[in-house]
Amino acid sequence: MPSWPHTFVHPDFNHIMSISRQSIFEALQNVMEPDLKKDIVTLGLVKINDVQDQTIDLQVKVSNPAMHSKMRMREACEFAIHRTLGNEWKVIVDVVPIAGDERSGELRKVLPGVKHIIAVASGKGGVGKSTVSANLAVGLARAGHSVGLLDADIYGPSAPTMFDIVHERPKVIEKDGKNLLEPVLQYGVKVLSIGFFADINQAIVWRGAMANKALSQMVNDAEWGPLDYLIIDLPPGTGDIHLSMVQLVPISAAIVVSTPQEVALADARKGIAMFGLAGIDIPILGLIENMAWFTPAELPENKYYIFGKDGVKNLSEDQGIPYLGALPLVQSIREAGDAGRPAILQEGTEAQSHIDSIVAQVEKEMRMLPFRKKKATTEA
């Protein structure tokens, strides 16, 4: 009886596999990443998961997370392989967006000098999203980070007021033969807002295409320079501007702001669902509860839960999303925003303490974000 080895491998198996993989890479060198203007192999965007039984299983990364972009990339890869290796091969292509923390250097055409881009959103208006955005930006700057704030709330820009720069205008500078907008620097934060380009009493009545073009210019035609964080203050709701921003900008994560009452939480759930759509797929960094309670100055030990208690905290537990903290309904926070000096700059106050805590949680969750993504991928 012949003595067989414990594991039998066809002598040509490894040779065949290496040729197959090399042939796949050669075929895919004909597929261009449309935004990055290079082929997907040279950019290192292709991973071959498996090759066997006439089936090729790939993962390909794309710069644009939109569904139509993913579909075009999948079709282009299938066509390239069939044309080179033959139609008998079954091609499985998993197309995923380039992660925010990967989008650096040549893998990011838009805002290449920005490490982390955080979108601040709310399901409905009036919950303090812009107040949170302004204080978060200043808080991160106070923590030693280089920070920018893009006020993308086209129809209700508030950053110029909240930063006391209503009468400021971005300068135009020349770089590499191109005229660029230079953001206004205030409190250590670089700020751009559509409010700079309209009279303070002028209503901005634009159709979607005009609004999207304005946002594109504030992203692509601005000299943001190197930043640790860019905070994007989105409009309330879930509309055209949101879809345009996630397609235009490589957002790392989103923060959803809400007040505790159910009518606001219902819209917050919609905002969370929007970021989870297949064509968007942006992780939620966490939830922030604004106007969580009221404490009158004459009764500093009392808390009155005017809009309900722990609504956002309970939502975070239900959704499995980190809870970043709460801000009370404090007159000084409102007055600080109106005066153009964010409340986090009020030394030794209750407001500053709460905001500092939220900033620390944001920093912590950003450090944990790559591990959350890895865990989600493993579980999937």
pLDDT value, residue 4: 37
Q: CA 20 to CA 14: how far, in whole Å? A: 10
Q: What is the DSSP string of 5-57?
A: -SS---TTHHHHHHHHHHHHHHHHTT-EETTTTEETTTTT-EEEEEEETTEEE
Task: Tell which residue, 327, 295, 340, has the closest CA to residue 132.
Answer: 327
Every domain of the chain with CATH number 3.40.50.300 lies at 105-379
pLDDT value, residue 18: 42
pLDDT value, residue 29: 93
The runs of H, that is alpha helices, within 154-284 are 159-162, 208-220, 240-248, 262-275
> Is the distance from CB of 159 to CB of 151 less than 8 angstroms?
yes
In the chain (380 residues long), the average pLDDT of successive 10-residue segments reads: 40 45 90 87 90 90 76 93 91 81 53 90 86 96 96 85 92 88 95 81 62 82 94 81 78 93 90 82 93 86 90 93 93 87 91 94 92 57
Q: Which two tokens stand for residue 14?
A: 């490894």
β partners of residue 117? 230
pLDDT value, residue 285: 96
Q: Kindly list the distances between the CA atom of residue 347 and the CA atoms of 73, 133, 342, 353, in Å, as whole numbers in the listed order.
A: 52, 19, 11, 9
Task: Tell which residue, 69, 376, 112, has the closest CA to residue 243.
Answer: 69
CATH pick for 105-379 out of 3.40.50.720, 3.10.20.30, 3.20.20.390, 3.40.50.300: 3.40.50.300
Every domain of the chain with CATH number 3.30.300.130 lies at 13-98
pLDDT value, residue 379: 56
Query: Tell me, what amino acid is at 343?
Result: A
Torsion of CA 316, 319, 321, 323, to 10 degrees: 0
Query: What's the chain's length in residues?
Result: 380
Q: Report the Cα–Cα distance between both ends of the chain, in Å, rounded.
A: 47
CATH pick for 13-98 out of 3.30.300.130, 1.10.3720.10, 3.10.129.10, 3.10.20.740: 3.30.300.130
Query: Tell me, what amino acid is at 317?
Result: E
Q: CA 271 to CA 239: how far, in whole Å? A: 10
> Is the distance from CB of 234 to CB of 197 less than 8 angstroms?
no
Torsion of CA 235, 200, 355, 305, to 10 degrees: -70
Query: Locate tokens 């893998």: which residue?
Result: 107
